[in-house]
A and B are shown apart, each in its own frame.
Chain A
Amino acid sequence: MKNLIDRYIRKEMFPHIWCPGCGNGVVLGAIIRAIDDLKWDKNRIAMVSGIGCSSRITGYVDFCTMNTTHGRAIPFATGLKMAKPDMQVIVVMGDGDCSAIGGNHFIHAARRNLNLTAIIINNMIYGMTGGQFSPLTPTHRIGTTAPYGNIDQSFDLVKLAMAAGASYVARSTVYHIRQSISLIKKALNKKGFSVVEIISSCPISYGRLNKIRTPVDMMNWLKDIAVSSKAWENLSPQQREEKLIIGEFLDVDKPDYCALYTQLLEKAREEEVR
């Protein structure tokens, strides 16, 4: 562990800003473990984030890092990836960041099948601004802007990414950490747009408002709501209401944007100037 910290963490940035019981640090640990397993050169890794608690992750890791504007991490990463196709570009977003203000960018990066790995830390709430409901807050749950219960339907990011054209889509939780590491590793290795949603714990905002008050309660809650697709098959519609499927949903090989762009460049060079 100390080795990993020395190798990947900007120690001068600590202490971090995250609350006790926050899942962001767990995801940070999972990402650097996955990268360490892959033995990638740090100079060739870029990490790009937007705005929110989770986006502070880019300040803490010793890669080429950009903490950008709210929801816009993917388009910033798009420009960087096009300029430096040899770099591994990882985008880390929160649920509001990715699916509300950044929703359009997310589906279009998937549509292009652009070679980015998007890791979404989904704590089902806007944490940094104090607990407002997000597009991933389940219906009926409480947020500071949904004091009578959320009447909105929530997005299923997995289905959204699959429908929009991603190459790899998976979901896990901060409780299922070994699975998270292995899914992130697969996503990082994937050509094309890869997505890993990690359900995370926010005891301070989501937990307190929804009566899952302590970090331990939240971990137990994650353990309880997450089921494999196999287990899902045996659940009644009523039992399914509060559950989330974890695991791998999509892993396909199809032309990625960078490969297609290389072909385009060759075609453009061959054609006569009009």
Chain B
Amino acid sequence: MNKSLDNIKLLQGNEACVQGALLAGVRFFAGYPITPSSEIAEGMAYYLPKLGGKFVQMEDEIASMAAIIGASIGGLKSLTATSGPGFTLKQENLGYAIINEIPCVIVNAQRGGPSTGLPTKPAQGDMMQARWGTHGDHSIIALAPSTVDEVFWLTIKAVNFSEKYRTPVILLLDEVIAHMREKVIIPEPEEIEIINRKKPTVPPEEYLPFKPDQDGIPPMANFGEGYRYHFTGLIHNQKGFPTSNPQEIDWHLRHIYNKIKQNAKNITLYQRHFLDDAKIALIAYGSVARAAERVVKLAREQGIKTGLLKLLTIWPFPEEELSRLANQVELMLVPEMNLGQIVLEVERVVRGKCQVISYNRVDGELINPEEILLKIQEEIEK
């Protein structure tokens, strides 16, 4: 049996997510059936017990989010998967994971919204909800793959980021990426970088569960391993107990906000396609980035110097790279399957240094390369 051939798989995006999660060390999944993410739950129900992991089908989306936090506190790498309506329900306990700095991963296979919306059609309408969906100031990491292979690798990244930075990480798929099949080469386990949360090095009586090290991240003790301490959704001090001291409150809020910001360089992933001499830059992510890649080729065939900045990390937003790019190009075009969410961030970062326009589609259909190209041609002729 040729091992390398054996490692080449034709996988659905949701299946690639399962394989990536298992290799990254995820050993707990809690979820609730919802289209178009259910194959992730089905895969986890099958594979996790084979590896000694646990799968629980919960009574609802809220409970699923709570359960993965509980399991993470018990020391298991944990993941849940959902779509728009479920993602809305998860916001409550997502906030709990943020304020308590709990590593966990939430997959949102986006479908059309609002409300029940378009269950079997793709959309990118949850970009801002991923950033600001839960109440209060906070930070978050969100990643958006545009191929099945990227789903595999970004799932591993998501788990690693969550462990490294003690934070929930959101993986934003869309219905197309979740359900389409593409080739994935599954690496050997030793080829994959796995990051595990930092454990405390001090004895239990000296442990301050929310005191960050120099890197901004507090070491995390699992429950049941000799360190007895407290988690609360209330603003807390470094001991983990509720506080109403203004200094401690201010410190806590800034800490959970800044720990991602100060590490943004290592978190913001993107790909540059033909940008070196580009005068027009497409800014795209998810399944739309596939069309954008094609547009670059078509436009260049017509002599239009076009490039693509494909965003893999959505939050924290890749401000530095975009700001640099704004000094070079004359026009940025942001095609999205929403009415203009990421374009707002692009405008904020660009600050008028170049022209920014958006192209939007919200009819449940994919954006075609031809329509983006047409938009470019229109702009040039203006």
B52 A80 Cβ-Cβ under 8 A: no
Q: In the bound complex, do residue B74 and residue A83 qualify as a contact, i.e. CB atoms below 8 Å apart? A: yes
Q: Interface 1/0s, chain A 243-261, versus B by CB < 8 A?
A: 0000000000000000001
18 pairs across A/B with beta carbons < 8 Å? A12-B241, A13-B241, A58-B230, A64-B227, A66-B70, A66-B231, A69-B233, A72-B66, A78-B66, A79-B69, A80-B73, A83-B71, A83-B75, A84-B75, A84-B224, A86-B224, A105-B59, A269-B49
A43: contacting residue among B76, B92, B228, B230, CB under 8 A: B228
> CB of A1 within 8 A of chain B?
no
Interface string of B264-285 (1 = CB under 8 A from A): 0000000000000000000000
Q: Are A83 and B231 in contact (CB under 8 A)?
A: no
Chain A's nearest CB lies how many Å from the CB of B228? 5
A73 to chain B, nearest CB (A): 8
A46 x B230 contact (CB < 8 A):
no
The answer on a CB contact under 8 Å between A82 and B223 is: no
For residue B232, CB closer than 8 A to chain A, the reply is: yes
From the candidates A59, A65, A80, A86, name the one contacting B70 in the complex (CB within 8 A).
A80
Q: Is B242 an interface residue (CB 8 A)?
A: yes
Whether A59 and B66, one on each chain, are in contact in the complex, defined by CB atoms closer than 8 angstroms, is no
CB contacts (< 8 Å) of A79 on chain B: these are 28, 30, 56, 66-74, 78
Q: Determine if B234 is an interface residue (Cβ-Cβ < 8 Å).
A: yes
18 further interface pairs, Cβ-Cβ under 8 Å (given A78-B30, A79-B72): A59-B232, A69-B92, A69-B233, A75-B58, A75-B70, A79-B30, A79-B67, A80-B223, A82-B54, A82-B56, A82-B67, A83-B72, A83-B75, A83-B76, A84-B224, A87-B223, A104-B60, A108-B59
Output the nearest chain A residue to B45 by Cβ-Cβ distance: A268
Q: Is A36 an interface residue (CB 8 A)?
A: no
Q: Which 4 A-B pairs have the closest CB atoms?
A: A83-B74, A79-B70, A268-B49, A79-B67
Q: Which residues of chain A (158-174) have a CB below 8 Å from chain B? A: none
A76 touches B70 (CB 8 A): yes
CB atoms of A84 and B60 under 8 A apart: no
Query: Is the Cβ of A46 less than 8 Å from the Cβ of B96?
Result: no
Q: Is the interface of B mostly helix, strand, loop or mixed?
A: mixed
B331 located at the interface, meaning its Cβ lies under 8 Å from any Cβ of chain A in the complex: no
Is B251 in the interface zone, CB < 8 Å from A?
Answer: no
Please measure, in the bound complex, the distance between the C-alpha atom of A74 and the C-alpha atom of B231, giving whole angstroms.
15
- Known A-B contacts A82-B54, A83-B76; the reply to A46 vs B66 at CB < 8 A is no
Inter-chain CA distance A48–B233, complex, in Å, is 12
By the criterion CB–CB under 8 Å, are B232 and A67 in contact? Answer: yes
Smallest CB gap from B58: residue in A: A75
Q: Is B63 an interface residue (CB 8 A)?
A: yes
Q: Contacting B224 at CB < 8 Å: which of A43, A261, A271?
A: A43
Chain B residues with CB under 8 Å of A44's CB are 224
Q: Is the beta-carbon distance between A78 and B60 smaller than 8 angstroms?
A: no
CB distance from A77 to the nearest CB of B (A): 6
Q: Is B246 an interface residue (CB 8 A)?
A: no
Main secondary structure of the interface of A (DSSP, over half): helix
Whether the pair A76, B49 counts as a contact (CB closer than 8 A) is no
Instruction: Say whether A225 faces chain B, with CB atoms less than 8 Å apart.
Output: no
The 0/1 profile, CB within 8 Å of A marked 1, for residues 53-93 of chain B is 01010111011101111111111101000000000000011
Which of A46, A72, A82, A105 contacts B71, CB < 8 Å?
A: A82
Complex Cα distance A265/B92, Å? 31
CA–CA, A77 to B68, complex, Å?
Answer: 10
For A70, give the chain B residue with the smallest CB separation.
Answer: B92
Q: Are A265 and B49 in contact (CB under 8 A)?
A: yes
Which among A46, A69, A86 has the greatest number of chain B C-beta atoms within 10 A?
Answer: A69
Is the beta-carbon distance between A82 and B28 smaller than 8 angstroms?
Answer: yes
| B136 in contact (CB, < 8 A) | no
Interchain CA distance A162-B263 in the complex, whole Å: 51
Report chain B residues within 8 Å CB of A10: 230
Do B233 and A68 touch across chains, with their CB atoms under 8 A apart? yes
Q: What's the minimum C-beta distance from B320 to chain A, rounded to whole angstroms?
A: 36
Bound Cα distance from A74 to B69, whole angstroms: 12
Contact partner, A67, options B49, B54, B75, B231, Cβ 8 Å: B231
B224 with A64: CB separation less than 8 A: yes
**Are B223 and A67 within 8 A (Cβ)?**
no
Say if the beta carbon of A176 comes within 8 Å of chain B: no
Could you tell me the distance in whole angstroms from the C-beta of B53 to the nearest C-beta in chain A? 9
Contacts of B59 in A (CB 8 A): 75, 104-105, 108
B303 within 8 A of A: no
Q: Which of A87-138 contact B (CB under 8 A)?
A: 87, 104-105, 108
Interchain CB contact under 8 A, A68 and B224:
no
Q: A105 CA to B30 CA in the complex, in Å?
A: 14
Nearest CB in chain A: distance from B334 CB, A: 36
Most chain B CB neighbours (cut-off 10 Å) among A62, A69, A75, A86: A75
